[in-house]
Amino acid sequence: MGDLVEQLRSGLPAEAVVTDPDITASYRNDMASFCEAGDPAVVVLPRTVEQVQHVMRTATALRVPVVPQGALTGLSGAANAVEGCIALSLVKMDRILDIDPVNRIAVVEPGVVNAVLSKAVAEKGLYYPPDPSSWEQCTIGGNIGTGSGGLCCVKYGVTAEYVLGLEVVLADGRLMTTGRRTAKGVAGYDLTRLFVGAEGTLGIVVRAVLALRPTPPPQLVLAAEFSSVEAASDAVCRIMEGGHVPSLLELMDHTTIRAVNALANMGLPGSTQALLLAAFDTPEPSADLAEVGRLCEQAGAVAVVPADDVAESELLLQARRLSLVALETLGTTMIDDVAVPRSRLGRMLSGVSAIADKYGLTIGVCAHAGDGNTHPVVCFDAGDPDETRRARESFDEIMALGLELGGTITGEHGVGVLKKEWLARELGPTGVELQRGIRSVFDPLGILNPGKVF
């Protein structure tokens, strides 16, 4: 341990190597605080690629595990420290190196906060779509590590689709470039994509070339109230089958609506069972909203309220963005992330409701409904062992239901510690064997985020 810190200090500025346990303790956990975690032996905060290389060379020489970290807003424990590790925080590498409107790319360091990048590119008439709920805190490096999504995905896709190329420090400290700065490229296996969602198990992303889009017109939002989640899900299917391309299509259930009202008094319709929010950023959004409103009515909507303007639209989105925070006021929470084919969204949601009844628990659901990506939030009293056990069992049963419906255990939050047994179930033994094989190619000593993913 003395050796480790000394060797780290030999290639890092003094302030970049932290051993004070009061400080290092704050690098133990991401937001999945109920997942296992250990105490880091040391926290390092490099500012340059060379410093990251020094950290990895040291870790390789001393066989010390390294856990890469961003803003610690993750929900699966992927960034949780392991006992005695180097917690490698990339937050100080936060420079935007280039924003290029002709090539529609940005080149960034991993510690750039999502919202900072979004605002910087917006000033040049450009748009970086991925918008996880934590966008005002989370970093691009973390978004790449977990393969983050957000509200925009139904039209604009997930983080993976915006990562063109990377610079990566490998486990042994070598620097590698993947991908391209060009719009297209098929030179060799797609290593760039392999790193996205790898949760820091294959290497340390130290630079990213990101694709940008032109800024779309401002979106207008419609809210539709339903007397059941199944009816709202039916509306989702009709909208997508009808060939519409909403810029978001979100669902909040009764529990979530009540929690948001209690927290922020936003005047959401408290008696409704499911609220669907649909938005369009097309040249004539009100025409699209009118058509979608009709489809909602055909699916049984009890009220359809198109926003009159952008300000009213933004208010509705704020309510949606508050969902997780609001549900967290109901107790300790475990946030699931099951995505199913959207045609099975109704069965997924009614199944979650049955699971909540079976275990006698409150499970609020918000969902990126257009993607079939649900976030059932299991609320429980962590001080009550029986309730905690029931929470964990219901959480697992939700994943089992998702797999049964042809879905995946994680649409956008990643595997981390929380879901690693479940990943094996989803991938099957052959898939796991090959994934382990790939991991060994990149990390033969097993020092990169050990114990995560699988």
- Which of the residues 202 through 221 are near a copy of itself (CB under 8 A)? 202, 213-215
Among 15, 20, 123, 189, binds a copy of itself (CB under 8 A): 189
User: Which residue's CB is nearer to a copy of itself, number 62 or number 245?
Assistant: 245
Among 13, 101, 267, 270, binds a copy of itself (CB under 8 A): 101
Count other C-beta atoms under 10 Å from residue 212's C-beta. 22
Measured from the CB of residue 115, what is the shortest distance to a copy of itself in angstroms?
A: 21
Encoded tokens for 48:
């340059």
User: Which residue's CB is nearer to a copy of itself, number 88 or number 198?
Assistant: 198
- The bridge status of strand 66-69 relative to strand 86-89 is parallel
Beta strands in 122-203 (DSSP E): 126-127, 163-169, 175-179
Measured from the CB of residue 312, what is the shortest distance to a copy of itself in angstroms?
A: 24
Round the CA-based radius of gyration of the chain to a whole number and report it: 22
Q: Quick one: which segment of 43-51, 114-122, 240-248, 252-260 binds a copy of itself (CB under 8 A)?
A: 240-248
User: Which residue's CB is nearer to a copy of itself, number 237 or number 335?
Assistant: 237
373 binds a copy of itself (CB under 8 A): yes
Among 28, 321, 342, 375, binds a copy of itself (CB under 8 A): 342
Binding mask 274-313 for a copy of itself (x = CB under 8 A): --------xxx-----------------------------
Encoded tokens for 261:
């009202």
CA angle in degrees (0–180, nearest 5) for 132-454-446 = 105
Distance CA 228, CA 244 (A): 23
Among 435, 445, 446, 450, binds a copy of itself (CB under 8 A): 435
Encoded tokens for 137:
């805190």
103 binds a copy of itself (CB under 8 A): yes
Q: Quick one: which segment of 30-38, 54-62, 185-193, 353-361 binds a copy of itself (CB under 8 A)?
A: 185-193
Measured from the CB of residue 344, what is the shortest distance to a copy of itself in angstroms?
A: 9
Measured from the CB of residue 213, what is the shortest distance to a copy of itself in angstroms?
A: 8
The structure tokens 């409704």 sit at 272
74 binds a copy of itself (CB under 8 A): no
Contact assessment for residue 408 and residue 419, using Cβ atoms and an 8 Å cutoff: no
160 binds a copy of itself (CB under 8 A): yes
Among 104, 294, 347, 392, binds a copy of itself (CB under 8 A): 104
Measured from the CB of residue 390, what is the shortest distance to a copy of itself in angstroms?
A: 25
| DSSP letter assigned to residue 201 | S
Measured from the CB of residue 105, what is the shortest distance to a copy of itself in angstroms?
A: 8
Distance CA 124, CA 174 (A): 35
Encoded tokens for 236:
């989702």
Measure the N-to-C terminal CA separation of the chain; round to a whole number of Å. Answer: 27
Residue 209 half-sphere exposure, CB side, CA atoms within 13 Å? 18
Q: Quick one: which segment of 47-55, 89-97, 183-191, 389-397 binds a copy of itself (CB under 8 A)?
A: 183-191
Q: What sign for the dihedral angle of Cα 132, 137, 140, 141?
A: negative
Among 39, 50, 100, 291, binds a copy of itself (CB under 8 A): 100
363 binds a copy of itself (CB under 8 A): no
Measured from the CB of residue 339, what is the shortest distance to a copy of itself in angstroms?
A: 4
Contact assessment for residue 350 and residue 358, using Cβ atoms and an 8 Å cutoff: no
* Size of residue set near a copy of itself by CB under 8 A: 87
Among 13, 267, 270, 406, binds a copy of itself (CB under 8 A): 406
Count other C-beta atoms under 10 Å from residue 267's C-beta. 10
408 binds a copy of itself (CB under 8 A): yes
Among 48, 227, 261, 343, binds a copy of itself (CB under 8 A): 343
User: Which residue's CB is nearer to a copy of itself, number 58 or number 146?
Assistant: 146
Count other C-beta atoms under 10 Å from residue 454's C-beta. 16
Contact assessment for residue 172 and residue 145, using Cβ atoms and an 8 Å cutoff: no
Distance CA 3, CA 23 (A): 20
User: Which residue's CB is nearer to a copy of itself, number 21 or number 283?
Assistant: 283
Distance CA 433, CA 367 (A): 32
Distance CA 126, CA 214 (A): 4
User: Which residue's CB is nearer to a copy of itself, number 40 or number 402?
Assistant: 402
240 binds a copy of itself (CB under 8 A): yes
Name residues contacting a copy of itself, limited to 129-158 (CB under 8 A). Answer: 146-147, 149, 153-154, 158
User: Which residue's CB is nearer to a copy of itself, number 214 or number 383?
Assistant: 214
2 binds a copy of itself (CB under 8 A): no
Distance CA 297, CA 283 (A): 24
Tell me the CA distances in angstroms from 110 to 8, 58, 90, 177, 316, one per residue in order: 21, 21, 6, 14, 31
Which helix (H) or strand (E) element contains residue 428? helix 420-442
Distance CA 35, CA 275 (A): 32
73 binds a copy of itself (CB under 8 A): no
